[in-house]
Chains A and B, each alone.
Chain A
């Protein structure tokens, strides 16, 4: 007995090229996403090439040039010990954006996995995790971050840990909600009948299919994380002197804001621009991955 089958004749173009072209088309349709992408790329380039782009050593003191106005030699002016602000803002991108990226990715990874496990395993494990997350969510996040950062000790790394910890519950809830619906899907049941273990199901079936909303949340979170890191730096719980960090720079500059406007302004603008860029890009990613949410 043979079963007649329609021969498959359609030759497909290479997948990745097709995907890239589609992505380009989608991005081109939205000017705001384009702008976000441009800003993000600019910031990432600054991060990567800070040593080559900087006009001065960011930590070199020059007491003769204290609080100098912006000029050809010092584009953004200098600070109270004569350090070049342009170079410091450039180097500061490494701290602030680095924290933003690290926080978003690590809290997404940890929270996503925890949420998927919670949803799949269910029962007491699920209740325990979720009540823990509820407790964390019940405290205003900035207060919790400050408390954690203060308890761990003031440093950029501890600030990073604190923000990550506080962002985790959002991902856990998101991932768990996804996991609850995904674990009812036919392919999870099918995988079970073929002998798949729990871990395999969490990783390859649930987590994998729960990814799109997590990615959306992640891309929207980078900007928020940068703001939070800067806020911690501003109140002195983040990066310490003499590290160039935007929030700390704005905070020190505050003392001179009436006479030396450039000190706080340029790091502040850097924060504004970067956060805006990542947020615009995040919106674009959301529209791409979740078209039904578009325009909301």
Chain B
């Protein structure tokens, strides 16, 4: 499935950013390293506040300038240093090299303009096409998304379409300029379960056809296990575990991943109480020293007062986790 390794499309290396707040700084990302290779579907999973959406937004520099501070690390897209890029260069990267779809298909389209105009605007912005050509391209794109009547959709206003249709329009738009990377920030959260599946299958089908890499950001374990080649588990702004999806799902090595997986409803008999991870996510403005999961971890020990490094496990080097337990297991 995974194409041969080239230079990664998205390469985040040891990235830390913080948001200055009143008398404190919120440390949103603490040394995230993340790679997406060409044509690969990578999942990023974590609960609210784990930094997954910030990572996505920062990749395209969509966070309000001056509201955040990069305290270390780098972020490259197709070899371009995104943190140093000028606003003008960003405009050509966004939408052409990297497209992004959001979790709210309801609000992602301008309610006062027809779908057709909104699509051709994007197409014309990035490609040298006439209005007619752009419209023809939009029709082709929509037909590609298995939309039965593209002409009618183009002449519609967003409120005339269902949520699934709107998300399909967004996906069509995302693929309009054949991007190298598609960032999908919880693309199906607002959709019905049946529509969710359709949309995701469509997304994967198109990505595989065109060799587009996808960075799928979600908090849905089931979704990751079905759709992603590799997965990163994030917690308090750092990656705690990464690896090939099947391996991580089969044998999670970080206690946090274990907790997430045992919290799935499939893990218990009907009628029984679901498993939960005790405690709360620590305040990002006052992160504890050492392992940030320590206070909620069943296996916490003395060594956890130091921050565990993200170390490779096994022979492949693909699998990594940030826990002293696995380090010790390896040592012994």
Contacts and interface: CB of A to CB of B under 8 A. Distances in A.
Interface in B134-177: 146-149, 152, 170, 173
Contacts of B104: 186
- Interface of A (DSSP majority class): helix
Contacts, number: 79
Nearest to B103: A186
Nearest to A205: B110
A191 B147 CA distance: 22
A291 B218 CA distance: 39
Given A3-B198, A186-B104, A187-B107, A193 B94 contact: yes
Interface string A1-29: 11101011000000000000000000000
A193 B107 contact: no
B108 A187 contact: yes
B126 A195 contact: yes
A141 to B, nearest CB: 31
Contacts of A189: 62, 102, 108
Contacts of A193: 60, 62, 94-95, 99-100, 102
A209 B112 contact: yes
B91 interface: yes
Interface string B163-201: 000000010010000000000000000000000001001
B106 A1 contact: no
A5 B146 contact: yes
B113 interface: yes
B111 A8 contact: no
A124 B204 CA distance: 44
A52 interface: no
Contacts of A7: 148-149
Contacts of A194: 94-95, 99, 122, 125, 173
B126 to A, nearest CB: 6
Contacts of A205: 110
B99 A190 contact: no
Interface in B84-137: 90-96, 99-100, 102, 104, 106-113, 121-122, 125-126
Contact of B146 (A3, A192, A211): A3
Contacts of B96: 195
Given A3-B198, A195-B126, A204-B110, 11 more contacts: A1-B205, A8-B149, A8-B152, A185-B107, A186-B108, A195-B91, A195-B93, A196-B95, A204-B121, A209-B112, A211-B112
Interface of B: 60, 62, 90-96, 99-100, 102, 104, 106-113, 121-122, 125-126, 146-149, 152, 170, 173, 198, 201-202, 205
